[in-house]
Structure 1
Amino acid sequence: MEVEEMTLEDKCEHLMNIVVESRKRFGKMCIDYEQKTSLVENKMLNLQIETISNYRFKSKTTVPCIDFDEMEKDLDEFKDALISNQKRIDELKRNLSNTENVVMQLKLDAVGQKLKKPLTAEAMLADAKKKIKS
């Protein structure tokens, strides 16, 4: 059958078959292309990772050599300073406690209260009048 003798429906069917076949063929080619590009991309990434992991980086600044004996000496000095400061704090707490006790004793001391009052004759008379009234 030639193209001229075909009916319109046959022509449409023939064209649809061509479209379907080309889609199948190009679809397979696209899938193959995607798989191949993914494989190549993975190989490139693995190569980059391997290259980076094998590369030896040089630091911009050199790391200073640490003298452990000197560091241990510094730590011991720091520890001694902390201990002496802690002793001073404990001593200050004890002195504060003793001072508070002395202040409390002075507040409760009757003789001390009498010494705080003025020793003038007028004050003594006013104090005697208060005692007589009460």
Structure 2
Amino acid sequence: MDIEDLTLEEKCENLMNVVVESRKRFSKMCVEYEQKSSIMENKMLNLQLESLSKARFKSKHTVPNLDVDSMKKEVDDFTNDIQERQQRIEKLYKSLRNTEQIVLQLKEDKIGMKLKQPLTAESRITITKSHKSK
């Protein structure tokens, strides 16, 4: 069979097969390249880690010897101070709540409001008239 004897569809099909095969081959090569490059990167990183772990570093400044007991006492004093302040804040919050409840009770106290009204005859007459008109 000659190339000239093939129909246009057969030529297209052959070309598509060539494209598909080249893509398969190229993708396989790409995958292999990615795997090999990641293996090499890992080896390089491991070598860097090994060289860094073997190197000895000297500090520029020496760390002063601190008294652990005095630092522990300071931290304990600080925590105690914070706890005391927190307790004071909680007490203030409770007293504020209690005061707020008392104020609300006084505002809603109808008997106390009636006692505060004047007890003159004129005021009683005007209150009675207002109740009758309702």
Give the TM-score taking structure 1 as reference length.
Answer: 0.48
* Greater relative contact order, per chain length (Cα 8 Å cut-off, separation 6+): 1
Give the TM-score taking structure 2 as reference length.
Answer: 0.48
